[in-house]
Amino acid sequence: MELRPRNLVEMFDLAVSLYGRNFLVLVGIVAVTAVPLALLQYPVTRMEQPQLDAAMRLLEHPEIAARQIPPAFNSPRALALSIVLTLLGYLVWAFCLGAIAEGVARIYAGSTIEFAASWRAVLRRWLSIAAVLSLAVLALVVCDATAVALVTIFVSLAAVFAPASLPTITVTAMLLVLLTATLTPALLAMPCVFGVYGITLESLGAVAALRVSFGRIFTRAEFRRSVICATAVGTLAFGCSAVLGVFAMSGLARWTAVYVALDAVARTLLVPFVGLVLALYYFDVRIRHEGFDLESGLDRATVTGAAGEPAYAATAYLSGAQRVLVARFLERRNGFSASRRDALAARLAQPARQRVPPELQGLDDESLLERL
Residue 26: which residues within 8 A CB-CB, separation 6 or more? 19, 100, 103, 113, 272, 275, 276
Closest CA to 362 of 370, 353, 372: 353
Residue 52: pLDDT band with limits 50, 70, 90: low
The closest of 226, 266, 224 to 244, measured between CA atoms, is 266
Sequence-distant (6+) residues with CB within 8 A of 31 are 268
Instruction: Please answer whether residues 324 and 278 qualify as being in contact, where contact means their C-beta atoms are separated by less than 8 angstroms.
Output: no
For residues 290-307, give the mean pLDDT.
Answer: 63
Q: Are 213 and 128 in contact (CB under 8 A)?
A: no
Residue 269 burial (CB count, 10 A): 17
333: pLDDT confidence band, cut at 50, 70 and 90?
confident
| Residue 238 vs residues 128, 224, 232, 270: alpha-carbon distances, Å | 26, 21, 10, 10
The reported pLDDT for the residue numbered 73 is: 46
User: How does DSSP assign 207-223, residue by residue?
Assistant: HHHHHHHHHHHSSTTTH
Residues 6 or more apart in contact with residue 119 via CB below 8 angstroms? 29, 32, 99
Give the residue-averaged pLDDT of 77-81: 72
- Rounded Cα distance between 246 and 268, Å, is 19
Burial class (CB in 10 A: 0-12, 13-18, 19+), 182: exposed
Between the CA of residue 295 and those of 83, 176, 184, 288, 329, what are the distances in Å? Answer: 43, 45, 34, 12, 10
Q: How confident is the model at residue 301 (pLDDT cuts 50, 70, 90)?
A: very low
- In this predicted model, what pLDDT tens digit does every residue of 163-202 receive, in sequence order? 777 777 777 778 887 777 777 777 888 899 999 999 999 9
Could you give the CA distance from residue 259 to residue 234 in angstroms, rounded to a whole number?
22
The DSSP string of 254-308 is GSHHHHHHHHHHHHHHHHHHHHHHHHHHHHHHHHHHH-HHHHHHHHSS--PPPTT
Contact 292, 3 (CB under 8 A): yes
Q: How far is CA 362 from the centre of its chain?
A: 44
**pLDDT, averaged across the chain:** 80
Identify the pLDDT of residue 343: 79
In the chain, % of residues over pLDDT 70: 82
> What pLDDT score was predicted for residue 164?
77
- The pLDDT tens digits for 344-370 are 878 787 877 777 787 777 788 778 887
Exposure b/e, 293-322, CB count within 10 A at least 16 = b: bbbbbbeeeebebeeeeeebeeeebbbebb
CB atoms within 10 A of CB 349: 21
